[in-house]
Amino acid sequence: MLGNSFCHLPGVGPKSESSLWDAGIHTWEDFLCAARPPVSAAKAASMRPGLEASREALDAGDADWFAARLRTANSWRLFPHFLPHAGYLDIETDGERDPVVTAVALYHQGRVTTYVHGRNMADLEEDLARVKVLVTFNGKCFDVPIIERVLGMRCPKAHVDLRFVLKSLGVAGGLKACEKRFGLSRRELDGVDGWSAVLLWREFERSRRENVLETLLAYNVADVLSLEVLMAHALDELLLPTPFAARKSVAIPSMAENPFAADPDVVEMVRGVVQRPFY
């Protein structure tokens, strides 16, 4: 889809892009090879250098170049070209105003990696450097600022925040509500939420019980595994109104297996605390 996009160029908005598509200009090559593109001569002259630079950036695999030029609402255009290089990320914190990042889950190229405060959190920086496009839910407001401010690590500039992508499709609410909209189930983790993750960390700090930590990691990983499926659903719907829907449809993957198992007793304990006033 990126090679069919013109909205990253200065002065080209959704209407201008649609007009180009309607005129049969579906790719950058179509525009560059057209004797008379369906825009003014001045507009064509201003667009050509941007399209040449776009070809160079795409050939170089420079997702950040496009991310700097795409509006948040159009960040999904980075897919599916950079789909094999996407990293799905979610963090948990201790819930304090000056937070500690307690756990991070990263799903990248079919592999789940987790990072725990006091154990291997420093490893996250090197692994993030291998990610070309970051996918989060509400990460622009929460995960990325905290990683960069608290952990002092750089995140990829190319970032698709599914909260805003799904909202543009009329799918609003938190991550769990969006999952239910597309038929995804948390099974044994149903009802466990972000506040539960805070409580799980506090309980782990108090008891040092590994089954408590594993339950926290199971919850954290469930967040990133669902992002891959939600991204595919979103792409499928976003492509529908374009001329490329039939050629560029994305297969909806099955949710990958969670390598961590939530302890049923720990889950019930946390649910009980969440359902009662917590002091």
155 vs 129: CA distance, rounded Å: 8
Q: What is the DSSP string of the chain?
A: -GGG--TTSTT--HHHHHHHHHTT--SHHHHHH-SS-SS-HHHHHHHHHHHHHHHHHHHTT-HHHHHTTS-GGGGGGGTTTTGGGEEEEEEEE---SS--EEEEEEEETTEEEEEETTTTTTHHHHHHTT-SEEEESSTTTTHHHHIIIII--PPPS-EEEHHHHHHHTT--S-HHHHHHHTT---GGGTT--HHHHHHHHHHHHHH--HHHHHHHHHHHHHHHHHHHHHHHHHHHHHHTTSTTTTTS----PPPPPPSS---HHHHHHHHHHHHS---
Q: What residue segments make up the domains of the chain, in order of their start?
A: 2-60, 83-275
Question: How do beta strands 111-116 and 133-136 pair?
Answer: unpaired
Sign of CA dihedral 103, 106, 107, 113: negative
The pLDDT value given to residue 260: 97
Low pLDDT (below 70) residues in the chain = 274-279
Residue 60's CB is within 10 A of a number of other CB atoms, namely 9
The pLDDT value given to residue 279: 33
Residues 161 and 133: beta-carbon distance below 8 Å: no
pTM of the shown model: 0.90
Dihedral angle over CA of 23, 165, 249, 156, nearest 10: 100
The pLDDT value given to residue 95: 93
154 vs 201: CA distance, rounded Å: 25
Q: Which of 163, 155, 148, 92 is nearest to 129 (CA)?
A: 155
Topology of the domain covering 83-275: Nucleotidyltransferase; domain 5 (3.30.420)
Token output for 107: 């799903």
The pLDDT value given to residue 274: 53
% of the chain beyond a pLDDT of 90? 80
**Is-cis flag, bond preceding 80, omega within 30?**
yes
The pLDDT value given to residue 192: 87
The pLDDT value given to residue 142: 96
